């Protein structure tokens, strides 16, 4: 049989459960319940096999920044596939899509971040970073500088290396992670963990855990610190203002490379091209993926400073993926960045739809189930709580309330994500104010139905 969109949904679901293993899913549930079959998408809307139009409050997986249905990206991909569908940049070869995209990224990235090493995804890019920073210090005659400090509950990818950088214990438990020489400090989650401290004190205290860790491990053994400017999949945790400058001060003082994981925060999400600009960081390396191509083609990478590139350039860096610098993905990414510039999508987030969404999202704090409402640019979260004043968490069934809320949103044709009992949005950056109204209406309805 030929499998098409026109088959009955139940048949598609049965075939799916029989043969397709889903990421971050319980396969038995898929067999019982059946996955929703998504058939097409346009703008900020996805459509399922029953014809329902669902507003995508997550931009896919935080990635479809320019929205769905962009003919220009499809046309560029087709053109590039006909002209040069594949070639690599190993062993002294190159091609125009890689050259042009690298030049564009050097122009857009802050400071002296002028050099790009490509990967097929954010996970691969973070694996590159592990090897890159250790190689950097070895080349500088300090091979003992190997430890990378990260944060608990962080998400940096699913490969063995990137999941080790990540701080999710549920992931570490499967497959014997983390790998050696990765150390995790606490995340700056003021609402859940701030206790009686002021936000300012708490921000400093959490940042100074980095300094403590460097002192405990020994400055001569620490290579880098990795963090997202605003932690995304960890729950859109926005730290107090004091946190970010203190992190930068500590990295400077101890000569620790700062890796900003911009996989979510990059390409407009926080209201600037990069989250590092929003929080005032000067990273040595930025991890990029997702919004780089708005998800239209799989591509990620590491943008590195002049200094890091110069040191790495002194040796043969024995690292690369078959799909590093893939010409079709690079051409699509470049066209995506052109669209972002021509339509001033970063300005739209900063001055137009971002402030509008912020006002509506922060008003959710008045809802009886909401203990905290956070938003930066177009990534936001709310913490669900049974008791606002004490900042209580839901008891033994942690995560269940969030899961049920997500299910209600989905039934109401809104995609929101849950992380434990936090609900998250990260919609396409091209969303209009009218579409924000639809999103908010469905979000409030889904919260009300949980009362």
- The residues that touch ligand PLP, with contacts defined as CB under 6 A, are 61, 121-123, 126, 155-157, 228, 232-233, 261, 263-264, 289, 300
For residue 267, give every residue at least 6 positions away whose Cβ sits within 8 Å of its Cβ, in sequence order, or none. 65, 273, 274, 288, 290, 291, 292, 294, 337, 340
CA distance 317 to 309: 11
Nearer to ligand PLP by C-beta: 67 or 229? 229
The smaller minimum CB distance to ligand PLP, of residues 289 and 357, is found at: 289
Least Å from the CB of residue 234 to ligand PLP: 9
Give yes or no for a contact between 130 and 156, defined as CB atoms under 8 angstroms apart: no
Counting beta carbons within 10 angstroms of the beta carbon of residue 398, is it exposed (0 to 12), middle (13 to 18) or buried (19 or more)? exposed
Residues sharing a CB contact under 8 Å with residue 193, sequence separation 6 or more, in sequence order: 186, 202
CB of residue 261 to ligand PLP, shortest distance in Å: 4
Q: d(Cα 291, Cα 149) in Å, to the nearest integer?
A: 25
> Please, what is the minimum distance in Å from the beta carbon of residue 381 to ligand PLP?
14
**Residue 120 or 371 having the CB closest to ligand PLP:** 120
Instruction: Please report, in angstroms and rounded to a whole number, the separation of the first and last CA atoms in the chain.
Output: 46
Instruction: Identify which of residues 122 and 240 has a Cβ nearer to ligand PLP in the complex.
Output: 122
Q: How far is the CB of 187 from ligand PLP (least distance, A)?
A: 13
CB nearer ligand PLP, residue 12 or residue 226: 226
Least separation in angstroms between residue 159's CB and ligand PLP is: 7
Closest CB to ligand PLP among residues 102, 153: 153
Pair 378, 427: CB distance under 8 Å? yes
Sign of the dihedral defined by the CA atoms of residues 255, 256, 259, 265, in that order: negative
Q: How far apart are CA 72 and CA 426, in angstroms?
A: 23
Phi-psi region of 6 (alpha: psi -120 to 50; beta: other; left: phi over 0): alpha
Give the nearer residue to ligand PLP in terms of CB position, either 46 or 264. Answer: 264
Query: Would you say 223 or 263 has its CB closer to ligand PLP?
Result: 263
CB of 75 to ligand PLP, least distance (A): 24
Nearest residue to ligand PLP by CB is 122
CB 282 within 8 A of CB 275: no
Rounded Cα distance, 278 and 110, in Å: 11
* Two structure tokens written together for 227: 């963090």
Answer whether 429's CB lies under 8 Å from 269's CB.
yes
Which is nearer to ligand PLP, 156 or 422 (by Cβ)? 156
State in angstroms the smallest separation of the CB of 264 from ligand PLP: 5
Min separation Cβ 46 and ligand PLP, Å = 18
Task: Identify the helix (H) or strand (E) that includes residue 103.
Answer: helix 96-108
Q: Give the strands of the sheet with 417-419, arranged side by side.
A: 370-376, 379-384, 422-425, 417-419
Q: Between 30 and 61, whose beta carbon lies closer to ligand PLP?
A: 61
What gap in Å lies between CA 27 and CA 181, rounded to an integer? 33
Q: What are phi and psi of 40, to 5 degrees?
A: -160, 170
**Minimum gap (Å) between residue 388 Cβ and ligand PLP:** 29
Minimum CB distance to ligand PLP, residue 226 (Å): 9
Question: 3-state DSSP call for residue 132?
Answer: helix
């Amino acid at each position: 049989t030929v499998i098409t969109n026109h088959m009955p949904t139940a048949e598609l679901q049965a075939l799916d459960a029989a043969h397709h293993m889903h990421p971050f899913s319980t396969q038995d549930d898929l067999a019982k319940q059946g996955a929703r079959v998504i058939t097409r998408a346009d703008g900020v809307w996805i459509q399922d096999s029953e014809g329902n139009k669902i507003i995508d409050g997550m931009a896919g997986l935080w990635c479809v920044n320019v929205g769905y249905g962009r003919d220009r990206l499809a046309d560029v991909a087709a053109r590039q596939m006909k002209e040069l569908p594949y070639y690599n940049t190993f062993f002294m070869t190159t091609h125009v899509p890689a050259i042009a995209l690298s030049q564009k990224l050097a122009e857009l990235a802050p400071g002296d971040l002028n050099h790009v090493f490509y990967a097929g995804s954010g996970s691969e890019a973070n694996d590159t970073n592990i090897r890159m920073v250790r190689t950097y210090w070895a080349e500088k005659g300090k091979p003992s500088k190997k430890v990378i400090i990260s944060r608990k509950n962080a998400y940096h990818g699913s490969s063995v290396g990137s999941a080790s950088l990540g701080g999710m214990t549920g992931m570490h438990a499967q497959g014997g992670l983390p790998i050696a020489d990765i150390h995790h400090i606490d995340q700056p989650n003021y609402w859940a963990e701030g206790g009686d401290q002021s936000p300012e004190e708490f921000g400093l205290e959490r940042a100074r855990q980095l300094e403590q860790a460097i002192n405990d491990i020994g400055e001569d053994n620490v290579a880098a610190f990795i963090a997202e400017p605003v932690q995304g999949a960890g729950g859109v945790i926005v730290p107090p203002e004091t946190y970010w400058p203190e992190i930068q001060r500590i990295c400077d003082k101890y000569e620790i490379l700062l890796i900003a994981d911009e996989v979510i925060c990059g390409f407009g999400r926080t209201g600037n091209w990069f989250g590092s600009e929003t929080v005032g960081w000067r990273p040595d390396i930025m991890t990029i993926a997702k919004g780089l191509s708005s998800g239209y083609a799989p591509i990620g990478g590491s943008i590195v400073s002049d200094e890091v590139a110069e040191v790495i350039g002194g040796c043969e860096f024995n690292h690369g993926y078959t799909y590093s610098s893939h010409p079709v993905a690079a051409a699509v990414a470049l066209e995506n960045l052109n669209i972002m510039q021509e339509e001033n999508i970063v300005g739209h987030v900063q001055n137009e739809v971002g402030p509008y969404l912020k006002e509506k999202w922060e008003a959710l704090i008045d809802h009886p189930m909401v203990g905290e409402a956070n938003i930066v640019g177009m990534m936001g979260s709310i913490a669900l709580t049974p008791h606002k004043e004490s900042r209580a968490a839901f008891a033994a069934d942690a995560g269940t309330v969030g899961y049920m809320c997500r299910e209600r949103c989905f039934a109401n044709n809104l995609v929101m994500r849950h992380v434990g009992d936090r609900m998250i949005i990260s919609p396409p950056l091209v969303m209009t104010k009218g579409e924000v109204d639809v999103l908010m209406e469905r979000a409030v309805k889904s919260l009300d139905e949980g009362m």
